[in-house]
């Protein structure tokens, strides 16, 4: 940060800000022109909606303006009503549960997979394995959820196979206890291969001389993994982990909406799906926006904290 | 505009329309006798015909002049086969007759509510909205629709006169302030006011040597028999989880509010609800009720009913019972279905809570409104009013003469092609191309439709059984909330209804024990059901005072 | 690796064997669901319903489900629309992302820092579903194909990958071109894009897959079935089990056919991806080395 500032500052130390700005824009107008559509895009599709969150503090309806006269301001009414609602603790709990379960089971899986693929001696076999494990990533969410729906019905193939092991023959998507496992396992099935790419890339970047040196020192495979491979991909792991932790309260609604039903709301309804139902089905846009804004703010705070911690603990940080 | 002027214009308009109607009926004696024949079967529907012949006018006649185009927001008809109503002969004919081109705006099937909300949020409305997804009163307050009180006499004389001649229907259609906000869907005949009820396998009942069951105990015996002797793996199955609520009627309660002699009660708080849950739980535990009922779909139900997996369900006489009888499997040859009365607890009593029975004015669907963004209110009103004219009545109920119906002994009779589609479409689908009577919409439904639509004796019998109940005494009439009430009511009830839905499933499936029932009721009270009941009560009081 | 044939310990060899077996099992787990779907789609409906447990081959052989699916015009409309969204959407994504990344990766400008902060901020804070919807609607994009193309033009995360790749291109390349009088656009097209092609390939893949999979925005922005992508149709068939006219209650056979139709629909909707996949695969494996992100 300070580096680039210094560079600019030293160039025009004695000029006023405006003069420097004008000179900079004149000199680099081409680049600014290139960036113009980009900036407009961000203003319209990201910053305008941020402005639109004012309806969280209003009793807004399509017929009323958001700003100026006619806007009906109600302060924190919708937030308070959400905090006092029966659904507040539930959607919060479900969001955290689903998110943490996905993190605990879903995060290590691709790291492990990458390590194992890396250990395959036959590189041709390794390539085939890679091709196959990446495949599910390309299945659309709708098809994935459609397949889940078909497989875990009471006469679905998964249910039938599990019933051999004593599981009841039921539609698993109707059992609130099974929603999170279904969600997490299908996530891993679909994402583990794709997720491993990044670690495999990091593994290829490991200096082969380190291994040769270790071998000369007589270190076994296990020790090499522990002392060379893992340290080498640790930065990647940390970055990935930070990004995941930052999303602890943001579980997307798309997969939830496709899989849940009223039987499983109790464990499946998360903040985003709640916002969707409130805002688009029950037509309570102000309330839904309030819930969404609450979520955005919390997410932001979490990312800031996580980033701070990781910045302190190591050199690796996002910002 | 002065009152005098309005009424003068109204009179002129009314005369004009009836002239049009006269000239049409003179050109086709068949269609005027059709009107009188349908008038025989229903006093109320005869008003349509008499209205138009009473008045006399000189100026207005369909089709209207000029290239008029309106946008019309409405769910797509015959959604299985069609993606735009403009492709349907019925709508094409209506556009031709009225001289108005309609551009349809259709919501995504299955996401009507979202799409509707999104349209409102955008502030960009169609000229005409036919939607049950928001209350007319609220839409008026929000400046989305216009008040039709002065428009109807002026530009919709057919509807207006019909309402004046049927004060009881008029009372239902108006709001508490005496305003007209919509073009209503009217079912003037008791036969049209009920369309669905329990359906069971008749051949299985015969096999078990059982009469049509009347009480819940007999139902249990029937379902057990289906399971043990008829090979039904899922004896009782529904098309949707909410259909299970129909069984509540036996316990003298419903899944909504009840009008108990002028006092509003909430069905779920009535005594019978717990007993209902316990019985459903018992059926569920014994494998009589579909274990997948919370996520069941129409398609699953079709498969189950047709392949002998299920033997009892709930459905409508046309698209369920009728469709199944048409599609009935080759094996067993005796395959047969019958309608059943709603069960009761004590033999010999009559069900009082079949709240799927409608009032004449349907406050649940089918009405059309004109929005504030409509630039040509007259055209919109006249277009909609066409549905209440003689010609419109015939078109919306029977379709196009020579194509979907012919006059047989003065009675409009659907053609053979409607019943035997070469592509194997069901009657409701083939008719859906030509009429709106199979669904709902801004017009007066003709009982002549239902008696033909229900081709089989089983359907006609079922209709008789289903309509045999004392329903209207306990059903909430079409009351109207103010915008303030509606906002408060929906914010309370959205939460409560979601909560009840999911808890009910857990009680039925046994995930929750009945020890927690009191806590469940307590939670409903905590969510402020009392206020919701109070809002309903106030609205009912206002209605009764109309 | 070639020179470690010297001596491999026994535990290591056992590990290797297990690793190979484990990977094999993993591949089966990854592939079997597809196989099951394919087998089921070719099965005779009645036999499929009667069958219990895993399928190792189709139960009977019937093409009725495929006939029904392929004759459905909505499948083809959906396909056409999805291809439109994937092609035009991805092209627009790439143009915007490359422009943005190029601009932000240039050094010595006063305002790139501010713009970067403004952009990165949107990764961590958003207005949310409802306000975003209102903006899109307010722009008149409702029921317009553009609603699926413009609002998601830049994925900030992808843009950062791109910017990193461009920043990593040696300055000397650009400088020499600039000395020869090349404009920034020329530098971008003649030097930056060719050099960063592997990264761009990865982004094409990311964006393309994103468009292919997208259904939620389509469900809230597009009301006209003629514009809806395949995924919405799939959702109708698979999730809400609304079979449309492909199967119905008009006969017992049709009612049963609904089961295999679901599987056939999955196959029909997935086959192009499976066919393209081997060709795409090498692009991202090559490119991901460059894209292995550091924001």
Q: What would the pLDDT profile of A135-162 be if each residue is shown by its tens digit?
A: 898 888 999 999 999 999 888 899 999 9
Q: What is the pLDDT of residues A66-125, one digit of tens each?
A: 887 778 899 999 999 999 988 999 999 999 999 999 999 999 999 999 999 988 888 899
Banded model confidence at residue B328, pLDDT cuts 50, 70, 90? confident
For chain B, list residues whose CB is within 8 angstroms of any CB belonging to chain C. 79-81, 83, 105-111, 114-115, 118-119, 121-124, 297-300, 302-303, 306-307, 323-324, 326-330, 424-426
Q: What pLDDT is recorded for position B362?
A: 78
Which of A235 and B200 is assigned the larger pLDDT?
B200
On whether any CB of chain B is under 8 Å from the CB of C222, the answer is: yes
Q: What is the pLDDT of residues A260-309, one digit of tens each?
A: 888 888 899 999 999 998 888 887 889 999 999 999 999 888 888 887 87
Compute CA B372 distance to the chain's CA centroid, rounded to the nearest angstrom. 27
Q: What pLDDT is recorded for position B160?
A: 94
Chain-chain contact of C292 with A236 (C-beta, under 8 angstroms): yes
Q: What's the ipTM?
A: 0.85
Distance from CA of C126 to the nearest CA of A (A): 6
Q: Does A181 have pLDDT greater than 60?
A: yes
Q: What pLDDT is recorded for position B39?
A: 39
Mean pLDDT is lowest, of B116-125, B163-172, C11-20, C157-166, for B116-125
3-state DSSP assignment of residue C59: coil
Average pLDDT, chain A: 86
Banded model confidence at residue A256, pLDDT cuts 50, 70, 90? very high
Compute CA B138 distance to the chain's CA centroid, rounded to the nearest angstrom. 22
* CA atoms of B498 and A147, how far apart (whole Å): 27
Q: What pLDDT is recorded for position A129?
A: 93
Domain B3-189+364-445 has CATH 3.40.190.10: yes
Residue percentage of chain C with pLDDT more than 90: 33
List of chain A residues whose C-beta atoms are within 8 Å of the C-beta of residue B134: 283
Banded model confidence at residue B242, pLDDT cuts 50, 70, 90? confident
Banded model confidence at residue B359, pLDDT cuts 50, 70, 90? confident
Q: What pLDDT is recorded for position C244?
A: 57
DSSP-assigned states of every residue in C216-247: HHHHHH---GGG--HHHHHIIIIIS---GGGS
Q: Does B3 have pLDDT greater than 80?
A: no
Which residue out of A13, A22, A46 would a mutagenesis test of the C interface target, given it has the greatest number of C Cβ atoms within 10 Å?
A46
Q: What is the pLDDT of residues B305-315, one digit of tens each?
A: 988 899 999 99
Average pLDDT, chain B: 83
Q: What pLDDT is recorded for position A52?
A: 92
Q: What is the pLDDT of residues B186-241, one digit of tens each?
A: 988 878 888 889 999 999 999 999 999 999 999 999 999 999 999 999 999 998 88
Domains of chain A: 2-75 (no CATH), 86-313 (1.10.3720.10)
Q: What pLDDT is recorded for position B488?
A: 86
Distance from CA of B296 to the nearest CA of A (A): 10
List of chain A residues whose C-beta atoms are within 8 Å of the C-beta of residue B290: none
Contact B128, B380 (CB under 8 A): yes
Chain-chain contact of B108 with C252 (C-beta, under 8 angstroms): no
Q: Mean pLDDT across the stretch B262-277?
A: 93
On whether any CB of chain B is under 8 Å from the CB of A215, the answer is: no
Contacts of C214 (CB under 8 A, 6+ apart): C85, C148, C229, C231
3-state DSSP assignment of residue A283: coil
On whether any CB of chain B is under 8 Å from the CB of C228, the answer is: yes
In C157-216, the residues whose Cβ lies within 8 Å of chain B are none
Distance from CA of B293 to the nearest CA of C (A): 14
* Domain spans, chain B: 3-189+364-445, 196-356+471-545
Chain-chain contact of B121 with A261 (C-beta, under 8 angstroms): no
On whether any CB of chain B is under 8 Å from the CB of A266, the answer is: yes
Chain-chain contact of B114 with A262 (C-beta, under 8 angstroms): no
List of chain B residues whose C-beta atoms are within 8 Å of the C-beta of residue C224: 106
Q: Mean pLDDT across the stretch A253-258?
A: 92
Q: What is the pLDDT of residues C193-229, one digit of tens each?
A: 998 887 888 888 889 888 988 999 998 888 778 899 9
List subunits contacting chain C, requiring 3 or more Cβ pairs under 8 Å.
A, B
Chain-chain contact of B108 with C232 (C-beta, under 8 angstroms): yes
* CA atoms of A228 and A222, how far apart (whole Å): 10
On whether any CB of chain A is under 8 Å from the CB of C22, the answer is: yes
Q: Does B1 have pLDDT greater than 60?
A: no
Which of B10 and B533 is assigned the larger pLDDT?
B533
List of chain B residues whose C-beta atoms are within 8 Å of the C-beta of residue C138: 122-123
Q: What is the pLDDT of residues B394-414, one digit of tens each?
A: 999 999 999 899 998 888 999
Residue percentage of chain A with pLDDT more than 90: 41
- Which CATH number among 3.10.440.10, 3.50.50.60, 3.40.190.10, 3.40.50.720 corresponds to the domain B196-356+471-545? 3.40.190.10
Distance from CA of A86 to the nearest CA of C (A): 22
Name the residue in chain B with its Cα closest to that of C228: B108
Q: What pLDDT is recorded for position A68?
A: 78
Contact C96, A41 (CB under 8 A): yes
DSSP state for residue B103 in the 8-state scheme: E
Of B103, B10, B86, B8, give the one whose Cα is nearest residue B382: B10
DSSP-assigned states of every residue in B469-508: S--TTTSPP-----HHHHHHHHHHHHHHHHHHHHHHHHHH
On whether any CB of chain B is under 8 Å from the CB of C128, the answer is: no
Q: What pLDDT is recorded for position A98?
A: 95
- The helix-helix angle for A176-204 and A230-246 (nearest 10°) equals 140
Chain-chain contact of A280 with B120 (C-beta, under 8 angstroms): no
Which residue out of B122, B142, B289, B494 would a mutagenesis test of the A interface target, given it has the greatest number of A Cβ atoms within 10 Å?
B494
Q: Does B54 have pLDDT greater than 60?
A: no
List of chain C residues whose C-beta atoms are within 8 Å of the C-beta of residue B110: 236, 240, 242
Name the residue in chain B with its Cα closest to that of C235: B110
Chain-chain contact of C209 with A137 (C-beta, under 8 angstroms): yes
Q: Mean pLDDT across the stretch B23-51?
A: 40
Enumerate the β-bridge partners of residue B258.
Answer: B265
Q: What pLDDT is recorded for position B7?
A: 45
Q: What pLDDT is recorded for position A204?
A: 79
Distance from CA of B181 to the nearest CA of C (A): 26
Placement of tokens 């093409």 in the chain: C63
Q: Does C158 have pLDDT greater than 80?
A: yes
Chain-chain contact of C250 with B330 (C-beta, under 8 angstroms): no
* CA atoms of B463 and B451, how far apart (whole Å): 10
Q: Does A314 have pLDDT greater than 90?
A: no
* CA atoms of A159 and A164, how far apart (whole Å): 9
Of the candidates C27, C106, C154, the beta carbon closest to that of A132 is on C27
Domains of chain C: 1-62 (no CATH), 64-295 (1.10.3720.10)
Q: Mean pLDDT across the stretch C79-93?
A: 95
Banded model confidence at residue C245, pLDDT cuts 50, 70, 90? low
List of chain B residues whose C-beta atoms are within 8 Å of the C-beta of residue C256: 303, 307
Q: What pLDDT is recorded for position B162?
A: 94
* CA atoms of B408 and B30, how far apart (whole Å): 9
Which of B2 and C40 is assigned the larger pLDDT?
C40
Q: What pLDDT is recorded for position B338?
A: 94
Total CB pairs under 8 A between chain A and B: 75
Name the residue in chain A with its Cα closest to that of B117: A283
Total CB pairs under 8 A between chain B and C: 100
Q: Does B268 have pLDDT greater than 90?
A: yes
Q: Does B90 have pLDDT greater than 80?
A: yes
- The separation between the first and the last C-alpha atoms of chain C, rounded to the nearest angstrom, is 33
List subunits contacting chain A, requiring 3 or more Cβ pairs under 8 Å.
B, C
Banded model confidence at residue C147, pLDDT cuts 50, 70, 90? very high
Integer angstrom CA distances of residue C183 from A30, A190, B20, B346, C180? 8, 44, 74, 91, 9
Of the candidates B81, B83, B326, the beta carbon closest to that of C250 is on B326
Q: Does B36 have pLDDT greater than 60?
A: no
On whether any CB of chain B is under 8 Å from the CB of C240, the answer is: yes
């Amino acid at each position: 940060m300070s580096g680039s500032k210094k560079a600019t500052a030293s160039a025009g130390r004695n000029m006023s800000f405006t003069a420097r700005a004008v000179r900079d824009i004149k000199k680099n107008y081409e680049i600014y022109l290139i960036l113009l559509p980009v900036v407009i895009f961000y203003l319209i599709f990201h910053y305008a909606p941020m402005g639109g969150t004012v309806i969280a503090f209003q009793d807004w309806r399509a017929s009323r303006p958001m700003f100026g006269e006619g806007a009906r301001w109600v302060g924190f009414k919708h937030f308070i009503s959400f905090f006092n609602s029966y659904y507040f603790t539930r959607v919060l709990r479900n969001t955290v549960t689903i998110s943490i379960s996905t993190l605990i089971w879903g995060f290590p899986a691709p790291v492990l997979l990458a390590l194992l693929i890396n250990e395959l001696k036959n590189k041709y076999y390794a390539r085939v394995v890679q091709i196959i494990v990446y495949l599910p990533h390309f299945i659309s969410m709708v098809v994935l959820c459609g397949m889940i729906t078909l497989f875990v019905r009471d006469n679905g193939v998964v249910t039938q196979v599990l019933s051999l092991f004593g599981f009841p023959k039921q539609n698993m998507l109707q059992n609130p206890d099974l929603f999170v496992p279904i969600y997490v396992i299908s996530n891993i099935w679909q994402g583990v291969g794709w997720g491993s790419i990044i670690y495999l890339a990091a593994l290829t970047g490991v200096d082969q001389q380190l291994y040769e040196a270790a071998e000369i020192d007589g270190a076994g495979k296990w020790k090499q993994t522990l002392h060379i491979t893992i340290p080498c991909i640790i930065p990647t792991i940390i970055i990935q982990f930070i990004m995941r932790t930052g999303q602890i309260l943001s579980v997307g609604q798309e997969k939830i909406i496709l899989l849940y039903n009223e039987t499983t709301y109790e464990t499946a309804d998360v903040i985003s799906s709640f916002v969707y139902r409130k805002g688009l089905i029950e037509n309570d846009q102000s309330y839904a926006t309030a819930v969404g804004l609450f979520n955005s703010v919390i997410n932001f705070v979490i990312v800031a904290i996580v980033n701070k911690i990781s910045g302190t603990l190591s050199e690796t940080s996002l910002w | 505009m002065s009152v005098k002027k309005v009424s003068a214009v109204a009179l002129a308009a009314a005369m004009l329309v009836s002239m049009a109607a006269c000239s049409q009926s003179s050109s086709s004696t068949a269609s005027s006798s059709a009107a009188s024949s349908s008038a025989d079967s229903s006093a109320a529907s005869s008003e349509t015909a008499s209205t138009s012949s009473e008045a006399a006018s000189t100026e207005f006649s369909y089709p209207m002049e000029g290239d008029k185009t309106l946008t019309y927001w409405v769910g797509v008809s015959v959604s299985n086969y069609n993606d735009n109503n403009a492709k349907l002969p019925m709508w094409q004919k209506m556009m031709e007759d009225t001289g108005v081109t309609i551009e349809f705006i259709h919501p995504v099937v299955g996401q009507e509510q979202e799409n509707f909300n999104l349209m409102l949020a955008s502030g960009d409305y169609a000229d005409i909205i036919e939607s049950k997804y928001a209350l007319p009163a609220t839409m008026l307050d929000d400046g989305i629709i216009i008040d039709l009180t002065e428009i109807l006499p002026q530009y919709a004389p057919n509807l207006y006169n019909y309402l004046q001649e049927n004060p009881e229907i008029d009372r239902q259609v108006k709001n508490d302030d005496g305003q007209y906000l919509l073009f209503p869907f009217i079912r003037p005949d008791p036969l049209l006011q009920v369309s669905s009820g329990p359906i069971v396998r008749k051949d299985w009942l015969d096999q078990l040597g059982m009469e049509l069951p009347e009480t819940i105990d007999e139902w249990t015996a029937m379902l057990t028999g289906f399971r043990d002797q008829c090979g039904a793996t899922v004896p009782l199955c529904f098309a949707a989880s909410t259909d299970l609520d129909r069984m509540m009627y036996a316990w003298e309660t419903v899944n909504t509010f009840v009008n108990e002699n002028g006092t509003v009660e909430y069905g779920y708080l009535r005594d019978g609800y717990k007993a209902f849950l316990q019985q459903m739980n018992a059926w569920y535990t014994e494998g009589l009720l579909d274990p997948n009922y919370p996520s069941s779909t129409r398609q699953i139900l079709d498969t189950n009913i047709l392949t002998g997996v299920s033997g009892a369900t709930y459905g409508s006489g046309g698209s369920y019972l009728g469709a199944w009888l048409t599609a009935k499997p080759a094996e067993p040859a005796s395959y047969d279905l019958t309608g059943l009365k709603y069960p009761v607890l004590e033999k010999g009593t009559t069900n009082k809570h079949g709240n799927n029975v409608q009032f004449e004015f349907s406050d649940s669907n089918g009405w059309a409104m004109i929005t504030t963004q409509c630039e040509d209110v007259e055209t919109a009103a006249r277009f909609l009013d066409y549905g209440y004219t003689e010609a419109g009545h015939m078109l919306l109920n029977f379709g196009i003469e020579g194509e979907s119906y012919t006059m047989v002994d003065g009675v409009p009779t659907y053609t053979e092609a409607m019943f035997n589609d070469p592509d194997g479409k069901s009657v409701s689908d083939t008719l859906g191309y030509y009429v709106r009577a199979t669904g709902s919409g801004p017009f007066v439904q003709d009982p002549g439709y239902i008696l033909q639509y229900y081709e089989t004796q089983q359907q006609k019998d079922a209709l008789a059984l289903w309509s045999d109940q004392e329903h209207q005494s306990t059903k909430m009439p079409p009351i109207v909330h103010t915008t303030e009430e509606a906002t408060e009511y929906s914010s309370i009830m959205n939460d409560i209804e979601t909560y009840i839905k999911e808890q009910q499933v857990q009680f039925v499936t046994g995930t929750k024990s009945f020890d927690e029932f009191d806590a469940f009721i307590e939670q409903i009270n905590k969510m402020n059901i009392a206020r919701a009941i109070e809002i309903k009560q106030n609205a009912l009081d206002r209605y009764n005072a109309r | 690796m070639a020179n470690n044939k010297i001596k491999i310990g026994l535990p290591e060899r056992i590990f290797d064997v297990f690793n190979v077996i484990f990977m094999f099992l993993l591949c089966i787990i990854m592939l079997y669901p597809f196989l099951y779907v394919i087998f089921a789609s070719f099965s005779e409906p009645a036999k499929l319903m009667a069958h219990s447990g895993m399928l190792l081959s189709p139960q009977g052989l019937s093409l009725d489900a495929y006939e029904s699916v392929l004759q459905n015009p909505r499948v083809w409309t959906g396909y056409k629309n999805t291809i439109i969204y994937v092609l035009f959407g991805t092209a627009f994504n790439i143009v915007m992302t490359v422009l943005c990344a190029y601009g932000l990766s240039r050094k010595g400008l006063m305002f790139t820092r501010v713009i970067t902060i403004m952009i990165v901020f949107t990764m961590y804070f958003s207005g949310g579903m409802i306000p975003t919807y209102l903006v899109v609607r307010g722009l008149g994009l409702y029921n317009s194909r553009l609603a699926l193309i413009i609002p998601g033009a830049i994925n900030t995360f992808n843009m950062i990958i791109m910017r990193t790749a461009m920043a990593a291109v040696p300055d000397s390349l650009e400088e020499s071109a600039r000395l020869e009088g090349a404009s920034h656009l020329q530098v971008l097209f003649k030097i930056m894009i060719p050099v960063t092609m592997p990264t761009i390939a990865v982004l094409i893949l990311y964006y393309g897959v994103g468009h292919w999979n997208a259904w939620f925005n389509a469900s809230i922005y597009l009301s006209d079935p003629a514009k809806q992508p395949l995924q919405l149709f799939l959702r109708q068939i698979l999730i809400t089990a609304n079979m449309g006219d492909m199967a119905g209650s008009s006969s017992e056979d049709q009612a049963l056919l609904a089961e295999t139709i679901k599987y056939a629909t999955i196959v029909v909707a997935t086959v192009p991806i499976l066919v393209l996949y081997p060709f795409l695969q090498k692009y991202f494996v090559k490119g991901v080395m460059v894209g292995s992100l550091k924001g």
